[in-house]
């Protein structure tokens, strides 16, 4: 058997996206060459693509056991550990690989991504810049650096980096989309003309179309040409929808099951030991004002904003899921433990961020599904629920691209409306059974009377009034990693209220389905 030719066949399958075939061929080779460290590393990479992270870890560990100096397997194992939130193990491996080869570019990039994920932006920038000094024309590195600057609110350095990308590749649509977020096309149409010419190209791939069409939709909205704006937004969502296998019934079944479990569950007083941090959970539909509310609260001198964390969902799945669904039995078992495994796991992950402040905001919108869990197992936590005109929420979702698997419903007018209705029913359920434990804040009221609403909000959070909360846009303490990044860096403005009226005709399919 010619091992080299057989490995080429595995790589061919990987390149074609045939990962199951690639894994099958790789495993067959491992049987014949059980001491070949390269094959285990390759198998681990295929398993990463299949999102089978636990077995990928085993493959990389086997590669390292065969060759303790295999820095490529160490880098890849660090990535798998990062994906499953084992951040300490991930960092240890990156450092080992870089100790062996300080100029290992992929590892510098991956380690920078970890630092960025943990909000250590200074270290992330240093790692990206070191890698770029070794490979100045590496577009992936430049885009990583640009996103880092964007999250930090460093607009000028972000722009410079994006222009470097476009000088290297004028057709990089990701860079164009990032740039579109900070340009006011009512004042500058030069970039719009560039994007229009790019849209005429016949060989655009689907990911390019998605980025470009969303950017053009934003540009024409700036120009108040809502027909053209809708045209491009609609095309972007159509292309995105083709890539997704979303089934509304799955979400409906999960929401009904959550309500069924908690409708029959008492909320006993549980005297768990206090955690190191007090969490303020900010929930609601995406685009309902959660980022704005977090920026306001996190401007307080006693608070640190953590952005959208997936730690609660990870902990819930690890501790009280059974056969991929919420288990009433496991919740009841958890209640009688001496300490909450859910809260302990959550706080352990939070601890990797090394936040000095004791009060932390977590503004993952989809946590609205898990308010019963928060009420049970996070004794000190505060829950803030953001509401907004449903048509404005749904329009804003339709206008933006979301990469999160939690947002697979966001590319269709029907799916968006149906999901909104599920959310509305769920929040009515939580408000009914949890009462004053939830603070409901209206986006429109916050815009209309900022100081009154901010004072009331801080009082609910047991925080003294801090005037910095009225100037949230001046604070860069809390990074913004969502599609709201550019809006939330501005003073409060009212132009987004009732913007749905300009799209009413084209979004009637969605608006007509919304529960009033």
pLDDT digits (tens, 9 = 90+) for 458-491: 999 999 999 999 988 776 656 665 554 545 445 5
Report percent pLDDT > 90 for the chain: 84
**Beta strand pairing status for 325-326 and 321-322?**
antiparallel
Given a contact cutoff of 8 angstroms between Cβ atoms, the answer to whether 368 and 284 are in contact is yes
Domain boundary among 191, 225, 242: 242
DSSP string, 276-338: SSEEEEEEESTTSSHHHHHHHHHTSTTEEE--S--HHHHHHHHHHEETTEE-HHHHHHHHTSS
User: Is 235 in the same domain as 160?
Assistant: yes
User: Is 149 in the same domain as 253?
Assistant: no
Residue 271 lies in a domain: yes
Domain boundary among 206, 222, 242: 242
**Beta strand pairing status for 278-284 and 382-387?**
parallel
pTM for the model? 0.90
Mean pLDDT of 206-235: 97
pLDDT of residue 218: 96
pLDDT of residue 271: 61
User: Is 322 in the same domain as 406?
Assistant: yes
User: Is 205 in the same domain as 298?
Assistant: no
pLDDT digits (tens, 9 = 90+) for 94-114: 999 999 999 999 999 999 999
Residue 394 lies in a domain: yes
User: Is 362 in the same domain as 471?
Assistant: yes
Whether 126 has a pLDDT exceeding 50, the answer reads yes
Least confident of 56-70, 271-285, 438-452: 271-285
Mean pLDDT of 241-254: 94
Residue 516 lies in a domain: no
pLDDT digits (tens, 9 = 90+) for 320-329: 999 889 999 9
Q: Tell me, what CATH number does 223's domain have?
A: 1.25.40.10
* DSSP state letter for 362: E
The distance from CA 137 to its chain's CA centroid, rounded to whole angstroms, is: 27
pLDDT of residue 484: 47
**Residue entry with tokens 């991504």:** 113
Domain, as residue range, for 270: 249-511
User: Is 211 in the same domain as 104?
Assistant: yes
Sheet holding 359-362, edge to edge: 303-305, 359-362, 278-284, 382-387, 438-442
User: Is 295 in the same domain as 355?
Assistant: yes
The total of structural domains in the chain comes to 2
User: Is 262 in the same domain as 380?
Assistant: yes
pLDDT classification of 270: cutoffs 50, 70, 90: low
User: Is 436 in the same domain as 407?
Assistant: yes
Domain boundary among 242, 259, 279: 242
Q: Tell me, what CATH number does 412's domain have?
A: 3.40.50.300
User: Is 220 in the same domain as 349?
Assistant: no
């Amino acid at each position: 058997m010619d091992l080299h030719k057989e490995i080429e066949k595995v790589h061919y399958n990987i390149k074609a996206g045939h990962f199951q075939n690639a894994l099958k061929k790789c495993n067959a080779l491992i049987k014949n060459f059980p001491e070949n460290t390269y094959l285990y590393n390759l198998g681990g990479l295929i398993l990463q693509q299949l999102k089978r992270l636990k077995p990928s870890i085993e493959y990389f560990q086997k590669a390292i056991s065969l060759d303790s100096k295999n820095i490529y397997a160490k880098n890849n194992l660090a990535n798998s550990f990062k994906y499953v939130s084992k951040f300490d193990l991930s960092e240890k491996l990156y450092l080992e690989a870089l100790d062996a080869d300080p100029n290992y570019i992929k590892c510098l990039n991956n380690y920078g991504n970890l630092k960025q994920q943990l909000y250590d932006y200074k270290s992330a920038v240093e790692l990206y810049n070191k890698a770029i000094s070794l490979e100045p024309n590496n577009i992936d590195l430049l885009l990583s650096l640009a996103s880092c600057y964007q999250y930090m609110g460093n607009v000028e350095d972000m722009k410079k980096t994006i222009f470097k990308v476009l000088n290297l590749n004028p057709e990089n649509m990701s860079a164009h989309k990032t740039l579109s977020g900070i340009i006011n096309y009512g004042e500058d149409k030069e970039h719009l003309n560039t994007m229009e010419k790019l849209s005429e190209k016949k060989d655009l791939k689907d990911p390019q179309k998605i980025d470009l069409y969303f950017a053009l939709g934003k540009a024409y909205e700036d120009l108040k040409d809502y027909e053209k704006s809708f045209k491009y937004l609609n095309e972007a969502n159509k292309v995105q929808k083709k890539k997704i296998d979303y089934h509304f019934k799955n979400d409906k079944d999960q929401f009904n099951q959550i309500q069924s479990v908690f409708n029959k569950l008492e909320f006993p007083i549980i005297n768990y030991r206090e955690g190191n941090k007090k969490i303020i959970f900010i929930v609601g539909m995406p685009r309902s004002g959660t980022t704005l509310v977090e920026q306001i609260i996190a401007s307080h001198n006693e608070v640190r904003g953590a952005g959208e964390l997936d730690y609660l969902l990870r902990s819930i799945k690890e501790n009280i899921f059974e056969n991929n669904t919420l288990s009433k039995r496991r919740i009841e078992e958890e209640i009688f433990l001496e300490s909450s495994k859910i809260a302990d796991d959550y706080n352990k992950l939070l601890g990797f961020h090394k936040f000095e402040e004791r009060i932390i905001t977590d503004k993952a919108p989809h946590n609205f599904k898990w308010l019963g869990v928060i009420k049970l197992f996070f004794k000190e936590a505060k829950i803030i629920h953001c509401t907004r005109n449903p048509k404005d929420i749904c329009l804003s979702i339709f206008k933006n691209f979301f990469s999160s698997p939690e947002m697979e419903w966001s590319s269709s007018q029907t799916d968006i409306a149906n999901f909104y209705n599920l959310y509305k029913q769920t929040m009515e359920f939580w408000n009914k059974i949890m009462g004053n434990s939830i603070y409901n804040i209206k986006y429109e009221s916050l815009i209309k009377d900022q100081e009154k609403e901010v004072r009331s909000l801080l009082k609910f959070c047991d925080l003294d009034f801090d005037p910095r909360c009225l100037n949230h846009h001046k604070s860069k303490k809390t990074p913004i990693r969502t599609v709201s990044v550019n809006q939330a860096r501005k003073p409060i403005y009212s132009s987004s209220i009732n913007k749905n009226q300009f799209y009413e005709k084209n979004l009637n399919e969605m608006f007509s389905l919304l529960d009033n």
